[in-house]
Structure 1
Amino acid sequence: MERLILVGMMGAGKTTIGRELAKRCGMRFVDCDHEIEARTGVKIPTIFEIEGEEGFRRRETQVIDELTRIDGLVIATGGGAVMRAENRAMLAERGVVIYLNVPPQVLWERTRRDRNRPLLQVSNPRERIFSLHQQRDPLYREIADIVVDGGRGNPGGTIRQIQKALETCRKA
């Protein structure tokens, strides 16, 4: 396995699951959002404030392009990475894509107090999560090799589901 790529909404657990999955698979973990912050020296909300969402998305595409060329990585993408067709193509072609599908209500519970999520700085963030999920879910599914339903269980259970699905993929 050259690359495992985690996709899903903000709050789905991509970073938490990704770190542990990488450890268990003997791979290195990289979070696209953290990589962007490291390269720019500022937090993502600041990038959104200065460059807007479009500026952030350009940076995200560049990071995805670079990371998906490196072997031995577990990559956690940003929740909106799938919005660009070019990102979806790179992700689908360059790794095993794992969609962490978490119900919008659970996402809301996990993110409602987080002020570092620029897309939730609106008058009705709960409605925004439901709307984003409805918009993005088909895109996640379009590129996913594996869909793992999560949200209420512990990370270990989700990782076991992923490992079992990966074993099935290898045998196919």
Structure 2
Amino acid sequence: MTEKHNIFLIGPMGSGKSTIGRQLAQQLKMEFFDSDHEIEKRTGVDINWVFDLEGEKGFRERETKIINELIKKQGIVLATGGGAVKSKETRNYLSTRGIVVYLEATIETQLFRTKKDNKRPLLQTNKSTQEILENLAYERNHIYKEIADIIIHTDKQKSKIVTYQLIEILKKNNDCFNS
């Protein structure tokens, strides 16, 4: 891991990627990006609108393009969308251009953290949220584990504690994060 200077956060919705990413970037004096926010900024509309108009396939194409563009930068923390890892191309980008951190969260934690969030297009169906999250976990969790350099559990922990734990792991394993 010694040559990797970027940090990429992957994991399911509600695992804390954006919150922890912002805190991590601030503590390490790095630039923070959120791929979903970048898509909204560049299209001028929210993620739900992109999903409605272009479907998940169109959204994922945009996401892959934006992630590829962002990870060419140096010294960034990037919070990816939960489904970004579905693209083999994106997985390869992430694995070769930075340290990949899987923020793991149980379905129960995800349910709690997303219950009042109406900005998650994959939850805007008539299926139960629990069923959707279970299906996504089945589809994606093994991929997260496969490409992760570091796995950290976010259940029942405040984001600042997770951020501190992650910084300690990074410092232990990578000289470029020791100041």
What range is the shorter-chain TM-score in?
A: over 0.9
- Using the size of structure 2 for normalisation, the TM-score is 0.93
Matched with 2:161 is: 157
**1:20: how far off?**
0.6
Counterpart contact for 1:112–1:126, Cα < 8 Å: no
3-state SS, counterpart of residue 97 of structure 1: strand
What is the CA-CA distance between 1:2 and the residue it aligns to? 2.2
2:89 maps to amino acid: E
* Per-residue deviation, 1:121: 1.2
Partner deviation per Cα, 1:48-68 (whole Å, 9 max, x = no partner) = 000000000000000010011
SS in 2 for 1:138: helix
Among the aligned pairs, what percent are the same residue?
Answer: 43
Name the SS for the 2:133 alignment partner. helix
Q: 1:13: which partner in 2?
A: 16
| Aligned residue runs from structure 1 range 10-49, under 5 A | 10-49=13-52
What is the correspondence of 1:1-172 to structure 2 with a 5 Å cutoff?
2-123=5-126, 124-170=128-174
The unaligned stretches of length 5 or more in structure 1 are none
Question: Displacement, 1:43?
Answer: 0.1
Task: Note the residue ranges of structure 2 that are not aligned, 5 or more in a row.
Answer: none
Runs of 4+ in 1 over 4 A off after TM superposition: none
Deviations 1:38-95 (A, max 9, x none): 0000000000000000000000000010011000110000000001111111001000
Q: Deviations over 1:3-31 (max 9, x none)?
A: 11000111111110000100110101000
Distance in 2, Cα, partners of 1:122 & 1:42: 20
Aligned pairs, how many?
Answer: 171
Q: CA deviation at 1:112?
A: 2.1
Structure 1 counterpart SS, 2:174:
helix
Once residues 5 and 167 of structure 2 are traced to their aligned partners in structure 1, the CA distance between those partners, rounded to angstroms, is: 15
Q: If the length of structure 1 is used for normalisation, what is the TM-score?
A: 0.96
CA distance in 1, matches of 2:109, 2:57: 27
State the Cα distance separating 1:113 from its structure 2 match.
2.2
